Structure 1
């Protein structure tokens, strides 16, 4: 479920310059952000794929990789977290390239700290508004009402656990979730992975078999048309 704007936001900072990374960490933590740091693209990729963040700050020039290449890998793996790119490359063509690569915002170095904070606040507001409605192959999932809206039928109301399961899959639509991961995320108090299969059955019964795809030997992902 989306967090409230008053909750401390979790942010991933991918920056290889130690002094800039330290300065940004201190600034962001003073603004009540929970900051995870990555000094290179490999660590940044690992954290972004294994943890949930509301925002990512991504340096364009990283050791061994280009920040936009890392961004492309994240988007291809279904990570939709808003990304603000920081770069010394600040001409219009560079900004266009960054935005076309999947970034939500692009800020040239050197930058004003207050402007950075304002851009992060704006990205977070837009992200929270979008996160309350997740796209599905058959329509959209409204997280506030726990209803699935389609063009051809009345809204279908889900139980809290059905909604949490579907929201997890829809949040990263290209990712395949092993049953054990879904058990830990959606049903932390349960002991058997059978409960995951049971709730997948419930979703398919309410919304059609196409809503959740079975990836044989790997797990489940959001269904595709």
Structure 2
């Protein structure tokens, strides 16, 4: 959709956050920052990012604990841990908690940017299909097809984008406002969300998207 990649930086060192924000913005990222683990937890659970940079030594919720909470709630965004704790045991702990990469402080900003590019490439390769019940959503062809099949229901670009958001976090309920921001940023009314949910159900079955009364929408059982 032509948008700049979004990165969440969870770091309590204000000066380092300032430098990271400048470096990452120059690289083309949209940067959001959280100064403690509690704010980072909320951001990671309520907003979508392409990659996350996570400090270990955070106030409120320590970095590894925060990462485990994200993973336990279905957040699959690739995470690079930054930490002054750089011995092998610390690295193993961070990677076992669900991080994709680990970089010790002090670090070279060029290396950080290269690692983030590699994380995003691997994540995009892995994310070309998403499970949707007993079917798969192919993001390249925009087809929702049975597992093992080569063809299925053809979706429009917006239909595919909406379904990919729901399928990316199947346990989460998305409000209409969140879906506007993630899929329909140019829309002037939340009615467009209901319209495209209707389109998806008409093409692929009413059970594809579940309405949670008073809250929004969630991926259905199929």
Q: TM-score, normalised by structure 1?
A: 0.82
Contact persistence 1:138–1:211 (CA under 8 A): no
Contact persistence 1:59–1:86 (CA under 8 A): yes
Contact persistence 2:136–2:146 (CA under 8 A): yes
Aligned residue in 2 for 1:141: 137
19 and 132 in structure 1: CA distance in 2 versus 1, 3 angstrom threshold: same
Aligned residue in 1 for 2:166: 169
Gap runs ≥5 in structure 2: none
RMSD between superposed Cα atoms in Å:
2.6
Q: Bigger relative contact order, structure 1 or 2, given CA contacts below 8 A and separation 6+?
A: 1
Task: Give the alignment of 1:33-72 within 5 angstroms.
Answer: 33-72=29-68
Q: SS in structure 2 opposite 1:213? A: strand
Gap runs ≥5 in structure 1: none
Task: Give the alignment of 1:43-122 within 5 angstroms.
Answer: 43-122=39-118
C-alpha separation in 1, matches of 2:7 and 2:181 = 22
Q: SS in structure 2 opposite 1:86? A: strand
| Count of aligned pairs between the two proteins | 220
C-alpha separation in 2, matches of 1:165 and 1:33 = 22
The alpha carbon displacement at 1:130 in A equals: 2.8
Comparing 201-210 with 122-131, greater Cα deviation is found at 201-210
